[in-house]
Structure 1
Amino acid sequence: MSVFNDDAGRSGSTVSLHGFLDALEAPAPSPCGGTAAAVSAAMAAALVTMVGRGSSTWIDGAGIAAQARALRARLVALGEDDAAAFEKVLVTMRDRIGSPEQRDFAIGAALLRAAEVPLQIGEAAADVAELAAIAAREGAPHLRPDASAAAVLAEASVRAATHLVEINLAVVPGDQHYESAARLAAAAAAARERALR
């Protein structure tokens, strides 16, 4: 399932945005929370890119912009992956082929993949939050509020994505996925706090 159309986005962003929102509100299988988190973080990355490019006296601005642009591309790809992983879970749960043990194994594998993608989204979004915090401190003064907004968006994306990890795997404190999710959420919250100072 293709969620994004970059060509449509370049020629008419309002149409592609409405198309994405229509897909988001459609009945499953469709993009859901993980894809929305990826898109929110990609928007945050785009804001950081804008701040980096627009801050002519910031020596590291171009480098920060390039990193943010790369994260945006990664997040868009992860948004596609999340929609596909979620669809795979639904298809696997409906599948009645094989023994109960084989079905349980297939469902477990699909759920693991459906948790791994949001964890990757959380990791990329946390990186965006860090870049946003730097841009909020070093960027051109008139663009720093945009960097702060990016940090808030990125943190929200991390929280949403890591929550999905916990739900999909029914993880408990002490589980490595839980620990990774908690670490990412804490790092993003710290970056947001720095950006808003």
Structure 2
Amino acid sequence: MRELLDAVGARTPAPGGGSAAAFATALAASLVEMATSFTRDDLVPQFHHAGEMRTRALELAEIELHAYEPVLEALRLPHDDPERAERVRAAQAEASQSPLEIARVAAELAELGAELARSGNPNLTGDAIAGALLAEAAAQAAARLVAINLTDGPTVDQAAELAERARAARAAALS
């Protein structure tokens, strides 16, 4: 864990916000997975895929380590290069795909955590809520990264919808 924190805090472009959001998503998934393991067996099937979501979040963290490199390469092109604007736009669109997926996974986890807080083992309510809150923060961060890369369009709208789902799940978890 210390190595991860040192890497995120280092003066390097990656890991950055996208990887951090993915790691937060993985941590949220671990909390939901743990709380699920103490939940009645008849409720477990609806929460069983938290472990798969943790694996996916870690895969996305790895993808994020290199996702922005093409954007940086395009930005280094001479300003008078006729292909520069299109290459930057295309690279930003591609770089937005992994944060969009992080937001999707995190929003789903926030919803799972909120549901688990309501219907899971009452002794693990705090862990389920912590998972929902971490997932919501990760979804918000990832959605914001998409919005930074792309000023408008359907991908930005999708990211905003995912962030709103996560916000609603947080509110439900805390109610």
Q: Same fold (TM over 0.5)?
A: yes
Mapping of residues 140-151 of structure 1, within 5 Å: 140-151=121-132
Q: Residue 193 in 1 paired to residue 171 in 2? A: yes
Q: Residue 180 in 1 paired to residue 158 in 2? A: yes
For the aligned residues, what is the CA RMSD? 1.6
Contact 1:58 / 1:139 at 8 angstroms: preserved in 2? no
- Relative contact order, higher structure (CA 8 A, sep 6+): 2
- The alignment partner of 1:170 has SS state of coil
Structure 1 CA distance, aligned partners of 2:17 and 2:158? 19
Partner of residue 3, structure 2:
19
Aligned length, in residue pairs: 174
Structure 1 runs of 4+ with >3 Å offset: none
Question: Any stretches of 5+ residues in structure 1 without a counterpart?
Answer: 1-16
Which of 58, 62, 72 is equivalent to 1:76?
A: 58
Letter in 1 for 2:44: G
Contact 1:38 / 1:78 at 8 angstroms: preserved in 2? yes
Contact 1:38 / 1:76 at 8 angstroms: preserved in 2? yes
- The alignment partner of 1:101 has SS state of coil
Q: 1:140 to 1:58 in 2, by over 3 A?
A: farther
Partner of residue 59, structure 1:
42
Contact 1:38 / 1:157 at 8 angstroms: preserved in 2? yes
Letter in 2 for 1:194: A
Contact 1:30 / 1:87 at 8 angstroms: preserved in 2? no
The percentage of aligned residue pairs carrying the same residue is 40
Q: Deviations over 1:116-161 (max 9, x none)?
A: 2111110010011111111111211110110011111111111101
